[in-house]
Amino acid sequence: MADKLTLSASTRTNLLSLQRTTSMISKTQERLASGKKVNSALDDALSYFKARALNNRSSDLQTTKDGIVQAVNVVKAATEALDSVERVLQQMKAIAESAKSSSDSTVRQSYASQFNTLRSQIDTITQDANYNGVNLLRSAPDSLVVKFNERGTNTLQIAGVDSTVSTNGVDVMQAGTGTSAATDWGVNSTTAGGVTIDSVISYIDSALLEVRSNAETFGTNAAMLDIRKEFTENLVNTLQGGASQLVNADLNEESANMLSLQTRQQLGTISLSIAQQSEQAILRLF
């Protein structure tokens, strides 16, 4: 085995200093490349794990926020459907009032047909008020539970409301059945399928109040969801900002450090060269 080389004290000191400088340059280059001063637990275990916990919660809340956004769309679909149902009811009321004021049998028969056509659209609208498999208006409506935090301990439950014709009283408004619809409205000036037109108008007024009340409730829920969505977005940004402050590098500072270290490296190389030249001068004496 070859004998170990013996270096002079000055050469060894300059060599170790140059090695340390080279190591610091590598670390600074890594910080500049990644933009982080803490890239692993070896750099700063406390900051690294704190930042990871903040980022993990931020990711969980981002998923929660996505759920809130989807819930807003579900409620929005229900609210828009109720607006459409309200317009249909208003048209039905106008037709009933027109039929009541008309003495022409043919005209009343036409009104009866229009009334029943509009009535059938209510169930069509409520059935189509579906978003991502959730319908808050159909018969046996769905309920929606919205999570407000990553643990699911804070929630908002939105109950669906059956808004079909069989529930809000519109089922008794039908102007007879089949061909009798035209007969009821065309011959008897006060009844529609055995129910007076005044009663029909009263049922429509009650249905309008119910539809508007349900729309207001859904609107309040939608407002609450919007507030929580905005809050969650702000919280996610705060968590991400806090994590960044723990691990992100100051690029201006690191750039200045790089220039300083490069200068130190050059000086160290020169110093090592001078030390070696001194040793060579002594060897020339022999």
Q: How far is CA 28 from CA 24, 40, 202, 210, 244, in A?
A: 6, 14, 80, 68, 18
Q: Residues 54-71: pLDDT tens digits?
A: 999 999 999 999 999 999
Q: Is 196 helix (H, G, I), strand (E, B) or coil?
A: strand
The secondary structure of 35-61 as a DSSP string is SBS--STTT-HHHHHHHHHHHHHHHHH
pLDDT, residue 180, reads 40
Q: Where are the domains of the chain?
A: 65-246
Q: 176: closest CA among 98, 244, 137, 119?
A: 119
The low-confidence residues of the chain, meaning pLDDT below 70, are 1-12, 14-15, 18, 167-195, 250-251, 254, 268, 271-272, 274-286
Which residues, in sequence order, are CB contacts of 103 under 8 Å at separation 6+? 189
- Residue 281's pLDDT is 55
CATH number given to 65-246: 1.20.1330.10
Predicted local confidence at residue 33, as pLDDT: 73
